[in-house]
Amino acid sequence: MPTTALPNTAATGAQARLDTPTGMLDVVIDGGTLVLLRFVDDPDSVAGLPSELSRDDDPAGILSRLRAYFAGDVHALDDVRVRFDRGTPFQREVWAALRTIPVGETISYAELARRVGRPSAFRAVGSANGQNPAAIVVPCHRVIASDGTLGGYGGGLDRKRWLLEHEGVLTSLGFG
């Protein structure tokens, strides 16, 4: 999978762009911690990326872990450190709860709402899920609708379907 170092200037962290089976990903690392992992639908765009970060071919080894994940080691991202630099306290709580969903499993938005102590807030949980700054590593793709359908996904349902199939989930849900 080709990697492109993104244009930038000097020094508090690193960023890169990785070509994956699900499309391009922007990766931003600060102090060895992932702060942004997002799908890129316009490969010429660098909008929204911090300009103070240096270019790096593999910041903190995250790209190697992403390559391993896409090559079949679905546990390669389990212990990647993530820092949430933005978001409300509620969103951060939801994002932290997402990290507890094991590879190969899914939960409903309603279950995620229960896990964060707000059982009636499944719509707010869905909204927080959609604002996740670290796609794949913070596995918002593992949250599905209560009726067993895929629900939504900020990266698009084709990507969500691919990720769940890659992790062996879709067959058990009857989608594969």
Do the beta carbons of residue 53 and residue 42 sit within 8 Å? no
What pLDDT does 56 receive? 55
| Residue (of 147, 143, 71, 158) closest to 111 by Cα position | 143
pTM for this model (two decimals): 0.85
Output Rg (C-alpha) for the chain, integer angstroms. 16
Cβ atoms 142, 169 nearer than 8 A:
yes
Tell me the CA distances in angstroms from 50 to 5, 55, 86, one per residue in order.
14, 11, 13
Are 80 and 137 in contact by the 8 Å Cβ rule? The answer is yes
Instruction: Report domain extents, the chain.
Output: 3-70, 89-173
- Residues with catalytic function: 140
Q: Which residues pair with 19 in a beta bridge?
A: 24
- In angstroms, what CA-CA distances link 13 with 27, 129, 172? 11, 25, 40
**Tens of each residue's pLDDT in the chain, 176 residues:** 554 444 332 335 788 888 999 999 989 898 889 999 999 987 666 555 554 445 556 767 888 999 999 999 999 999 999 999 899 999 999 999 999 999 999 999 999 999 999 999 999 999 999 999 999 999 999 999 999 999 989 899 999 999 999 999 975 555 54
Select the CATH number that applies to the domain covering 89-173 from these four: 3.40.50.1370, 3.10.450.350, 3.30.70.920, 1.10.10.10. Answer: 1.10.10.10
Look at domain 3-70 and name its CATH class. alpha beta
**DSSP SS3 for 3:** strand
Cα 25 from Cα 146, distance rounded (Å)? 29
Residue 5 pLDDT: 44
Beta-bridge mates of residue 103: none
